[in-house]
Amino acid sequence: MRRKTTLLILVFVFALVAAACGGGTTEGTDATEPLTTAAPSPVFEGDILDAGGCDYGGRIDTIKALDEFTIEFTLCGPHPAFLAQIAFGVFGIQPKEHLEATSGAPLDNPVGTGPYSLKEWVRGDSVVYTRNDDYYGKIAPHTTAVLKWSTESAGRLLELQSGNADGMTFPGPEDYSTIENDATLVLLDKPEPNVFYLAFTNTFSPWDNVDVRKAVALAIDRQRIVDTFYPPGSEIASHFTPCSVENGCEGESWYDFDIPAAKALLAGAGLADGFETTIYYRDVTRGYLPTPGNVAADIQAQLKANLNIDAEVVVMESGEFIQASTGGDLDGIYLLGWTGDYPHITNFLDFHFAVTNPQYGDPYPAIYEPLKTASEMISAAEAAPLYEQANNAIKDLIPMVPIAHAGSAFGATTHTEGAYAPPWGQVMFNFWDNGTDTMVFVQGNEPISLYCADESDGESLRACAQVVEALYSYNQIGDVQPQLATSCVPNDNLSVWTCSLRQGVLFHDGSKFDANDVIASYSAGLDASSPLHTGNSGVFSYYDYLWNGLINAEG
C-alpha cells in the first residue's frame, strides 16, 4: 500500500500579514521573482472602481490603479482575511480588452496568465489545454493537459486503472481499498475542510416554521449516514464550519438524534400526520458528498419512517441545481455542501449566511449581524464570542442541517510524479509529470462555464484555475502566496491594502498585464452597473457575498 499525504496548514491573520510582504513560502508553487522591474509609464492612465462611499453596505470603497504596477484597495473597514480572499481563483484577472470584446461573458474562451492556455472545450467530453511556454512560474513537463469527467466514482477509477487518466477526484468510499491495494495506483489524502448539509428556504411553506425545520433536524440519524456512506476520516458535523478552521466550533454543538422530540414538534405545528415535499440534489460526486443518490434515498427513507414525511427525490442538472438552490428557488429540501475556498471562517459563514444571500429565503439578522462585525476584527480571539453568537443563532434558527465533514482523497497513478491534492484552492496540473506529452485528469462533472467570476461549482473552478490567475494564490500545502501581485501591504488597521504587481507578465493573447486589467476584472464582478457585469447567470455570487454586496446593485 502506498499513500501520499499532504499537510493541512491553516493560514490565519498573522501568517497572512507575513505573506503580504512576500514572506510566505514559495516551495512547490508557481510564484517566482518578477521578470522585470521598471519605472511606471508616465503616460499611463489608471482606472478606478469607485463605490461612492460605503453606505451601500459592502466592503469596497475604491479600487484604484495608482500606476501601471500598483493597485490600492480602500475598504470600508478592516479585513483580516483580505489576502486569503483575493487568493481565491474566482477573483482571477483577465485582460480588460478581452472582457470588453466579450461583453463581460468570456464563458468558453478565457484569457489568462497561467501555466496553460485553453486549446478547446469539447462539450460533453473534455477541456484541452496547451502548455504556456512563456509562463513565469513552473512550466508544465507536458505539452497538453486534458480535463475529463465522469459523474460516477467507479467510472473515474476505471479511467485511472486502464491508464487513460493520470489522476482523479474523490474516489468513492468503496474505492479506497481498491486503490490502496493496487500497486499501480496511489491514494492522495486531501485534508480539505468541508461540510455536507441539507437545507430549506423559509419563503416556502412549511419551511417558514422553525419547528418544522427543527423536527427534520432531530429526525435525521446523521451518524448512520456517515457510517454508511462516508470514507474513513469522516465525522458528523457538530457545527456548520469544521473545527479545523479557527473559531469554527465556537458555541453549542448541533442537536442529537431524537425521534420523539421531532414528532412532538411536528405535531405542534399541526403536521402530526406528516406532509409531502421534495428532496432535490445534483448527481455530482464531491468530497463532501461521495454518493449523492444513496444519501438522498437514505434521507428519504428516514423522513418517511421517522416523521411520515413523503419526499419525492428529484435529480437536477448541476448548473440548474446550483442556480436554483443558491437563489432560494427550491420549495423542498435540497442537498448541498461546501468545500473551503480560502483559510478563514468567513469563507464558510459569511458566504452562506450574509444578508445578501437569498439561499435560505429571508435572511436572519441574529446570524448575519454578528458575522459582519466579527469579519472586521483583527484579533481572532476577540472575534470568538461573536462567532459563538452566530453559531448558536444558526442552531436556533436552523436554516440548514449540517450532516457531515467528509474525509476525502484524490487518486493517481504511481508513475505520475508530483501528484498532490491540496487542502485549499485547486490542483494545478503543471506540477504533475507522467513522463509523456499529455496529462489527463478526471473530475466529477463538466464545467458549467469557463468564466469563474460568475461560477461557484468546483468543477468549473478547477477548469478555470489552469488558465486564469488571481493576485494571490495557495501553494500545495495551503499557504497563501503572491501570484500576479508580488506583495500586498496593509495599513495599520488592515483597511487599505496596496498591491505591487508582477511586471513583465503577458496574457495568453500576447497583451501585457497591468493594473487596469485588475480594475476591469474586479469591476466586472463587483459593479452591477458595469457593462462588463454580464457573466453566465449574472449572479456573481462570490463577489456579492464575500465582498458584502455588489456596488450599484438594484434594491
CATH number of 116-190+408-443: 3.40.190.10
| Residue 39 backbone dihedrals phi, psi, to 5 degrees | -70, 140
pLDDT at residue 421, rounded to an integer? 96
HEC-encoded secondary structure of 462-495: HHHHCCCCCCEEECCCCCEEECCEEEEEECCCCC
Please tell me the distance from the alpha carbon of residue 7 to that of residue 114, in angstroms, as a whole number.
25
CB 24 within 8 Å of CB 18: yes
pLDDT at residue 299, rounded to an integer? 98
Query: Which residues, listed in sequence order, are joined to residue 278 by a DSSP beta bridge?
Result: 312
For the whole model, what pTM was predicted? 0.82
Contact partners, residue 127, CB within 8 Å, separation at least 6: 118, 120, 121, 146, 147, 447, 450, 463
Tens-level pLDDT at each residue, the chain (555 residues): 333 333 333 333 434 444 555 544 333 445 554 456 777 777 899 999 999 999 999 999 999 999 999 999 999 999 999 999 999 999 999 999 999 999 999 999 999 999 999 999 999 999 999 999 999 999 999 999 999 999 999 999 999 999 999 999 999 889 999 999 999 999 999 988 999 999 999 999 999 999 999 999 999 999 999 999 999 899 999 999 999 999 999 999 999 999 999 999 999 999 999 999 999 999 888 889 999 999 999 999 999 999 999 999 999 998 899 999 999 999 999 999 999 888 889 989 998 999 989 999 999 999 999 999 998 898 999 999 999 999 999 999 999 999 999 999 999 999 999 999 999 889 999 999 999 999 999 999 999 999 999 998 999 999 999 999 999 999 999 899 999 999 999 999 999 999 999 999 999 999 999 999 999 999 999 999 999 999 999 999 999 988 999 999 986
Segments of 52-140 assigned E as strands: 60-67, 70-75, 116-122, 126-131
| Residue 392 backbone dihedrals phi, psi, to 5 degrees | -65, -35
Domain ranges for the chain: 3-109+470-546, 116-190+408-443, 194-405
pLDDT at residue 20, rounded to an integer? 55
CB 246 within 8 Å of CB 348: no
CATH 3.10.105.10 fits 194-405, yes or no: yes
Residue indicated by cell numbers 449516514? 225
Please tell me the distance from the alpha carbon of residue 336 to that of residue 359, in angstroms, as a whole number.
11
pLDDT at residue 417, rounded to an integer? 98
Q: For residue 486, give the C-alpha cell.
A: 508580488
SS3 119: strand
SS3 84: helix
pLDDT at residue 35, rounded to an integer? 53
pLDDT at residue 19, rounded to an integer? 52
Other C-beta atoms lying within 10 Å of the C-beta of residue 507: 21
